[in-house]
Chain A
Amino acid sequence: MKYLPLLWAALARRKTRTILTLLSVVIAFLLFGMLQAVRLAFESGADTADDNRLLTVARYSFIEPLPMSHASRIEQVPGVVHVVGADWFGGKYQNESNAFPVIASDPARYFEMYSEFEVPPAQLQAAIKTRTSALAGQRLVERFGWKVGQKLPIASEIYPKIDGDMNWEFDLVGTIDADDPAVRGNTDMILINVAFFDEARARGKGNTGWYTLRIDDSVTPQAVATYIDRMFANSPHETRTQPEKEFAMGFAKQIGDMGALVSRILAAVFFTILILTGNTMAQSIRERIPELAVLKTLGFSDATVTWLVLAEAGVLMIAGCALGMLIAVALMPGLNGATGGRFPPLFVAASTWLLALGIAAAVALVIGLPPALRARRLRIVDALAGR
């Protein structure tokens, strides 16, 4: 602590240089924070998946239907404690396809399964009782300015009503929300009551899109998956059952090279910063060799001088890192607004903070160590003489 003024004096020696170095570090970490947020947003499905949840879809493609009658058979599989079917409505709002997912399911069962979603109890009751009910994610409600209680006109890309009309109307009875920002992205959906939907649609009656099931700890997910898939093998509706996490990861993986690309961009950014800042540090130490020699003459030990130089790099990097990340955090609401809610919500996760601080410390070490060691090896006589 007592060396703080000394550290400050070193940084304030050339203010322009310190500020410029700080700014480039800030930019690097600002980019880091934002790109990591983008990456996490895509992978959030996998992170928030529940280990005890499995998904059963049609064997060849998750967009092909399964009969609703599968539910009772899956329910009897040992270890399965809860099953809910859901169907893809193919929603179109204000002429835009898949502006948000619209899912037809049994509200009571659905929210028992997805207990991480919060629906006010009275609204959930309303959703169960009202046949034409719809529950909408809080972010969607805000984005489109909906009010609970209003009629919600949504067209379907897939299902006409019995009279052939593709335009449906639902009663918005409540909202879906979640505290965890990673889960919040999954609430960007509308849940409609399948009882009404199945009765009112012209085609596909008695079918559903997929099943979500919960198992208890007495069985392994793999065993249940194999059991179910074998049960329906060679039937007209064969199934493929996977842990929810695998399913979500499959999606994240499909985005594929994007994640790798983001990493490569970040590597290039940090490499550049490393070169530029490293050089500045080295230069700054070179200029101060006589001063460091004076410090040593005054009785500062080799170790202390080494630490002083390292601390200088550390302070610059950590301060830049914190500032950059804070700006990234501050920009998030604006970015989320700009994407119009079309992408999952971007947020700076705790893990990103940790990673950023770790990288800052590592970079500080890499750029601080060479000049610090040089300072350590200084021979007072030579340094004072300017040799």
Chain B
Amino acid sequence: MRVLNQVFQITIVNLWTIPQRLGTSLVIVVGIAGVVGVLVSVLAMSRGFEHTLASTGRASRIMMLRAGSDAEMSSDISREHAAILAAMPNVARNGDGRPLASAELVLMRDLARKGGTDPNNVPFRAVQDAAFEIRDELRIVEGRRFERGRREVIVGAKAADQFAGLFVGSRFEFRDSDWTVVGIFTTGGDVHETEIWADAEVAMSSFRRLSYQSLTATLEDASEPAFETMKARIDDDPRFSINVLREPEYYARQSKTLATLIDVLGYMVASFMAVGAMFGALNCMYSAVASRQKEIATLRAIGFGSVPVVVSVMLEALALSLLGGTIGAALAYIYCNGASLSTLNFNTFSQVAFDFRVTTDLILQGLLWSLVIGLVGGLFPAIRAARLPVVEALRTS
């Protein structure tokens, strides 16, 4: 009890006198805020990209590409084959009995970033009617859908946000044809939000194309055996060689390189930052304790034990780091959460945009880091303070 009482009293005095040591205390707070801020933002980027990946595609949907192709860009499916594939058993059908299959065409449209002039490859996806029933997560948030047979497009919200000239009513020239933006859509934050969508038939005739590149379909029965049966049936069909993949598998494969890069970058920066900050915090606490040697010695001379001294110095360090951590996490949240970033996916040569996601667990992780830094940063100086012989400490000027 007595120890607790002492800890309480010293801590109160310590915290009370912080304004007199404002400089040093502030430095610890700012330093740790900086570290936690960077840490949380970098990890939020990684988390955001993961989220975009994870939310793209459903296991109940499949993607068909020409055998050997891993990306839509290098794939090719003829009209004839697309019709046969859409009519396969286990492709779900809608109320009117039409298959939920959309043969699609993907081209790259050069677009400048807002405020920039350099071209970026933004995917221009031409879809069949069924695409809207297949990807029922799609919502038109502004304007309307494109009309069949017209040169109209709808634009993903992230594409509209990142690239110049994509707003409802705007027109653009693409491969000698004029297109009008008639709507903006969201798909729950997945990669399609960085795309421009148009009607497949119009696109085929406008761009003088004779074949599609991929076919996306909803499965009637998404179970593994049913999927395998369907896959085997397509593999055995001598008319074509087509590769069938579940959608999530396709998209995960597409982004492996970029995901690795973002992860490595994120964790490398975060861990080095944390170690660097630990040294910084240690240093600051050492000088804080060093400048208060006399004060601590006085406390011990008038009967306070060394344990309460250690604990209270630690508590002060923890309080300061927690404050810094909170500020850092809050700054990361204010500046980064929801901020969009778009970059080149090396596997597809096309742009993919994603949001920073400052999640609760990241904030907690940031706070935990600040506590660890404070703990380690405070422990050694505290022990040192307690160990110093009282007489010697009092004598120092």
B344 neighbours in A (Cβ, 8 Å): 251, 254-256
Partner of B23, one of A30, A156, A279: A279
The answer to the question of B172 belonging to the interface, with a C-beta cut-off of 8 Å to chain A, is no
The answer to the question of B175 belonging to the interface, with a C-beta cut-off of 8 Å to chain A, is yes
Determine whether the beta carbon of B118 is less than 8 Å from that of A275: no
Find the A residue at minimum CB distance from B45: A261
The answer to the question of A3 belonging to the interface, with a C-beta cut-off of 8 Å to chain B, is no
B386 neighbours in A (Cβ, 8 Å): none
Determine whether the beta carbon of B347 is less than 8 Å from that of A97: yes
The answer to the question of B9 belonging to the interface, with a C-beta cut-off of 8 Å to chain A, is no
Per the bound structure, the CA–CA distance linking A290 and B396 in Å amounts to: 13
Per the bound structure, the CA–CA distance linking A164 and B238 in Å amounts to: 12
Determine whether the beta carbon of A283 is less than 8 Å from that of B24: yes
The answer to the question of B282 belonging to the interface, with a C-beta cut-off of 8 Å to chain A, is yes
The answer to the question of A265 belonging to the interface, with a C-beta cut-off of 8 Å to chain B, is yes
Determine whether the beta carbon of B343 is less than 8 Å from that of A92: no
Find the A residue at minimum CB distance from B377: A20
B31 neighbours in A (Cβ, 8 Å): 272, 275-276
Determine whether the beta carbon of A157 is less than 8 Å from that of B284: no
The answer to the question of B89 belonging to the interface, with a C-beta cut-off of 8 Å to chain A, is no
One digit per residue, 1 when the CB lies within 8 angstroms of any chain A CB and 0 when it does not, for chain B 170-194 equals 0000010000000000000000000
B284 neighbours in A (Cβ, 8 Å): 276, 279-280
Partner of B70, one of A92, A249, A265, A276: A92
A21 neighbours in B (Cβ, 8 Å): 279, 283
One digit per residue, 1 when the CB lies within 8 angstroms of any chain B CB and 0 when it does not, for chain A 24-61 equals 10011011001100100000000000000000000011
The answer to the question of B268 belonging to the interface, with a C-beta cut-off of 8 Å to chain A, is yes
Determine whether the beta carbon of B279 is less than 8 Å from that of A254: no
A16 neighbours in B (Cβ, 8 Å): 286
Chain B interface residue count: which class? 35 or more
Per the bound structure, the CA–CA distance linking A342 and B346 in Å amounts to: 11
Question: B23 CB to closest chain A CB, in angstroms?
Answer: 7
Determine whether the beta carbon of B38 is less than 8 Å from that of A268: yes
Q: Which residues of B253-287 are within 8 A (CB) of A?
A: 257, 260-261, 264-265, 268-269, 272-273, 275-277, 279-284, 286-287
A160 neighbours in B (Cβ, 8 Å): 68
Determine whether the beta carbon of A257 is less than 8 Å from that of B343: yes
Per the bound structure, the CA–CA distance linking A61 and B209 in Å amounts to: 14
Question: B377 CB to closest chain A CB, in angstroms?
Answer: 10
Question: A261 CB to closest chain B CB, in angstroms?
Answer: 7
The answer to the question of B74 belonging to the interface, with a C-beta cut-off of 8 Å to chain A, is yes
Per the bound structure, the CA–CA distance linking A158 and B67 in Å amounts to: 9
Determine whether the beta carbon of A28 is less than 8 Å from that of B276: yes
Determine whether the beta carbon of A61 is less than 8 Å from that of B107: yes
Determine whether the beta carbon of B341 is less than 8 Å from that of A261: yes
Determine whether the beta carbon of B261 is less than 8 Å from that of A24: no
Find the A residue at minimum CB distance from B281: A276
Partner of A92, one of B24, B68, B349, B397: B68
The answer to the question of A271 belonging to the interface, with a C-beta cut-off of 8 Å to chain B, is yes
Partner of A272, one of B35, B342, B343: B35
The answer to the question of B291 belonging to the interface, with a C-beta cut-off of 8 Å to chain A, is yes
Determine whether the beta carbon of B349 is less than 8 Å from that of A63: yes
Partner of A269, one of B38, B69, B120, B347: B38
The answer to the question of B222 belonging to the interface, with a C-beta cut-off of 8 Å to chain A, is no
One digit per residue, 1 when the CB lies within 8 angstroms of any chain B CB and 0 when it does not, for chain A 340-355 equals 0011000000000000
Q: Which residues of B99-143 are within 8 A (CB) of A?
A: 107-108, 113, 116, 118-121
The answer to the question of A98 belonging to the interface, with a C-beta cut-off of 8 Å to chain B, is yes
Per the bound structure, the CA–CA distance linking A159 and B281 in Å amounts to: 59
Question: A162 CB to closest chain B CB, in angstroms?
Answer: 15
Determine whether the beta carbon of A283 is less than 8 Å from that of B67: no
**Can you sample 6 A-B contacts with CB below 8 Å?**
A31-B273, A156-B68, A251-B344, A256-B344, A257-B343, A275-B27
Sorted nearest first, the 3 A-B pairs with minimum C-beta distance are A27-B276, A272-B34, A276-B280
* Residues of chain A at the chain B interface (Cβ within 8 Å): 14, 16-17, 20-21, 23-24, 27-28, 30-31, 34-35, 38, 60-61, 63, 90, 92, 97-98, 155-158, 160, 164, 166, 249-251, 253-258, 261, 265, 268-269, 271-273, 275-280, 282-284, 287, 290, 339, 342-343, 386
